[in-house]
Amino acid sequence: MRRLSRGTTALAVVGAVALTVLIVVPVAALILRAPWSSAADILAEPANRTALRLSVVVSLWSLALSICLGLPIAWLLARVQFPGRRVLRALVTLPMVLPPVVGGVALLVAFGRRGLVGQWLDRWFDVQLAFTTTAAVLAATFVSLPFFVVTVEAALRGVDQRYEDAARTLGARPLTVLRRVTLPAIRSSLVAGAALAWARALGEFGATITFAGSFEGRTQTMPLAINAALDADPRGAILLSLVLLLLAVMVLSSLRDRWMGSA
């Protein structure tokens, strides 16, 4: 075996310590302290089941919105030359670096009952967004959309456009080319972008609690339920956390072949 240089050894030690302290120990603690014997009962509690169901509903709606809005935006950014493209890209990716709670406050002052737009929605259409399930969906979409856009835009840039040319000479209209040539070509990136966006939406906390509040059955998704349960029912909080951990691992493994297969 080749002897490692002292520098490499030092780096390996630092890495191992960091990994252990930051990831292995906390995850292990979560698993060890979980109330395994009463797991089924805890998960069956109405409040927890409600939070789980709401999380699924909110995250899937958010995913649908991310795809419907994200695909055109990604296309625009990747394929169309227009003034302000850089500004648009910066805007779209802003939520990735913005503290979620700031996003929540921004959504609140925009769409809250007395918000910039919200007051008109209230006055003209009698629509109140804040503290509704819709608000939870909007908050989740706000933070997760960039993950889908960034992934898909990169894929669209990488597409060999000669195949699209070939399709057009065969009589395919632009929408047919998109549906039958471009999207199949970036299928794995679409899945990856959707998985990332969904995982981000599922874990969303800060923007949701600010803009949508924490109302059981309406806006209290899993992360909010975990936060609420932490004092009164820590075992439930740990178990719900484990469920989220499991989902995160599933997302990672679904992406593994695409992202880490050759790494």
Partner 1 sequence: MSALQVAGVVEAGELSLDVELEVGPDETVAVLGPNGAGKTTLLRAISGLRPLTSGVVRLDGRVLDEPTSRTWVPPEDRSVGVVFQDLLLFPFLNVTDNVAFGLEAAGLGRAAARTASTTWLERFGLGDRAKDSVRDLSGGESQRVAVARALAPVPRALLLDEPLSSLDADVRATVRRQLRGHLAQHSGPCIVVTHDPLDAAILADRVVVLEAGRITAAGSLSDLVARPRTAWAAELAGTNLLPATAIGQRLVTADGGELISADVPDPGPALVAIRPASVTLHLTHPEGSARNVWPAIVAEVEGFGDRFRIRVEGSVALVAEVTAGAVDELGLVPGRDVWASVKATDVSAYPA
Give me the residues that bind partner 1 (CB under 8 A), please.
162-163, 165-173, 176, 180-181, 184-185, 187
**What are the tokens at 138?**
């909007």
What does the DSSP 8-state code read for residue 5? P
Q: Which is nearer to partner 1, 129 or 181 (CB)?
A: 181
Q: Which is nearer to partner 1, 116 or 170 (CB)?
A: 170
Instruction: Please state the closest distance from residue 198 (CB atom) to partner 1, in A.
Output: 24
Instruction: Please state the closest distance from residue 171 (CB atom) to partner 1, in A.
Output: 4
Instruction: Please state the closest distance from residue 174 (CB atom) to partner 1, in A.
Output: 8
What does the DSSP 8-state code read for residue 45? S
SS3 readout for the chain: CCCCCHHHHHHHHHHHHHHHHHHHHHHHHHHHCCCHHHHHHHHHCHHHHHHHHHHHHHHHHHHHHHHHHHHHHHHHHHHCCCCCHHHHHHHHHHHHHCCHHHHHHHHHHHHCCCCCCHHHHHHHHCCCCCCCHHHHHHHHHHHHHHHHHHHHHHHHHHCCHHHHHHHHHCCCCHHHHHHHHHHHHCHHHHHHHHHHHHHHHHHCCHHHHHHCCCCCCCCCCHHHHHHHHHHHCHHHHHHHHHHHHHHHHHHHHHHHHHHHCCC
Q: Which is nearer to partner 1, 164 or 216 (CB)?
A: 164
Instruction: Please state the closest distance from residue 157 (CB atom) to partner 1, in A.
Output: 19
**What are the tokens at 57?**
């509903």
Q: Is 130 helix (H, G, I), strand (E, B) or coil?
A: coil
Q: Which is nearer to partner 1, 189 or 210 (CB)?
A: 189
Instruction: Please state the closest distance from residue 257 (CB atom) to partner 1, in A.
Output: 17
Q: Which is nearer to partner 1, 163 or 215 (CB)?
A: 163
Instruction: Please state the closest distance from residue 258 (CB atom) to partner 1, in A.
Output: 15
Q: Which is nearer to partner 1, 31 or 170 (CB)?
A: 170
Instruction: Please state the closest distance from residue 76 (CB atom) to partner 1, in A.
Output: 20
Contact between residue 77 and residue 89 where contact means Cβ atoms under 8 Å apart: yes
Q: Cα dihedral sign for 206, 212, 213, 214?
A: negative
Q: Which is nearer to partner 1, 49 or 180 (CB)?
A: 180
Instruction: Please state the closest distance from residue 190 (CB atom) to partner 1, in A.
Output: 13
Q: Which is nearer to partner 1, 114 or 180 (CB)?
A: 180
